[in-house]
Structure 1
Amino acid sequence: MDNSLLLNSIAKYVTLDEQEQELLLSVVHHKKAKRKQFVLEEGDVSSKIIFVISGCLRSYAVDKNGTEHVLQFAPTGWWIVDMRSYITGEPARLSIDAIEDTEYIFFNKTEFEELNLKIPKFERFNRLIGQNAIATYQHRQVDNAIFAAMERYANFCQLYPSLIKSLPQKQVASYIGVTPEFLSKMLNTQVVK
């Protein structure tokens, strides 16, 4: 299995020497998920940090009416986890499933924590991507509060350019907080103008 995508992702933030890379790669687990297959189900405990090698995963919650609310998409080269469940050990409120056939790497929590102790640069990497994740989440919350649907859609397209054509409109609508019908009407109106 080629681990270069993972190593390149880490190298954007920190430089691991050969021994550190070997230690890191010694604890990665490779897995595949078929389209619509769960990687984490609501109610289970999240005990893995996941990195997508190919394909796409998404995390979402389902409300009492059965409506899905997409929190994140994780295309190739992205990380995904139910962080609250991972940190606290409480049951996950999110589900993570494959939008398409997906290949991913994961780290078990214990092994991941040991890596952070053994490779200080890896801990720095995790802090940096954690900070980026928090900043992105805050930015999205502000966008949802102050921007109209079309602006939220434009931000979605900027954040996930590789997914614009491949995702069903239903999932894009869920992510930006509108109904699929509203999104379709909004996009058709934009085409007409």
Structure 2
Amino acid sequence: MYNVFFSHILEKVTLNEQEKQKIITYFIAKKLRKKEFLLKEGEICRYLSFVEKGLLKSYNVDPKGIEHVNMFALEGWWSSDIYSFFTGEKAIFYIDAIQDSEILMITLSDFEKMTLEIPIMDRYFRILFQNSLVTKEHRLLSSVTYSAKEKYSNLFQSNPELIQRVPQNLIASYLGITPETLSRVKKEITKQR
């Protein structure tokens, strides 16, 4: 089970076998079936979760009942309502499985113990959070300045696997466009090739 997890960590920092064995003790393994919730809006997010296998989506629902996807988490990605996880406040996001998934979860208290006991993990998470901040900043800029075609093209170039595995209506929601607009954009791009 921890293959993708350690592969991801080792892309950023170096661990010895003793550290790996200690890290495992802090995590809980969980399986989610397709459409099963990891978190619901209004709950307290008790875990920071790593996707070992499968695919999750994080989203909120507006007053009209429309889902707005803010993130997908494939294998090798983390998923959480970070604000709720670190503050203990109610979650503003839902997180559920798009595909059957296997995840590794850590509580805040174990996260803090682990990063104190294994300092290299503190560095790993600092790198992770820095990268996340840069990605979110870019996503915000993209949402207000790029055309629908540019948004789709950028997503396709940066993560073609996501395009293949996620239903088109969810891709449209993530890009902040309608499914009809996404269909039109895809046809334009196909004609240009």
TM normalised by structure 1 equals 0.96
SS of alignment partner, residue 115 of structure 1: helix
Q: Distance in 1 between matches of 2:133 and 2:190?
A: 34
Q: Distance in 2 between matches of 1:81 and 1:92?
A: 9
- 1:116 Cα deviation from its structure 2 partner: 0.7
- Counterpart of 1:129? 128
- 1:132 Cα deviation from its structure 2 partner: 0.2
Deviations, residues 1-58 of structure 1 (Å, cap 9, x unaligned): x212111111111111222111101121111111111000001011111111111001
Contact 2:60 2:94 in 1 (8 A): yes
- 1:158 Cα deviation from its structure 2 partner: 2.7
Q: Distance in 2 between matches of 1:129 and 1:15?
A: 14
Alignment of 1:140-159 (within 5 A): 140-159=139-158
SS of alignment partner, residue 123 of structure 2: helix
Number of residue-to-residue matches in the alignment = 192
- Counterpart of 2:102? 103
Q: Percent identity?
A: 39
**Structure 1 unaligned spans of 5+:** none
Q: Which amino acid aligns with 1:22?
A: Q
Q: Distance in 2 between matches of 1:164 and 1:80?
A: 19
RMSD (Å) for aligned C-alpha atoms? 1.1
- Counterpart of 1:139? 138
1:186 aligns with 2:185: yes
TM normalised by structure 2 equals 0.96
- Counterpart of 2:6? 7
Q: Distance in 2 between matches of 1:4 and 1:34?
A: 20
Alignment of 1:23-38 (within 5 A): 23-38=22-37
SS of alignment partner, residue 164 of structure 2: coil
Q: Distance in 2 between matches of 1:158 and 1:186?
A: 15
- 1:186 Cα deviation from its structure 2 partner: 2.0
**Structure 2 unaligned spans of 5+:** none
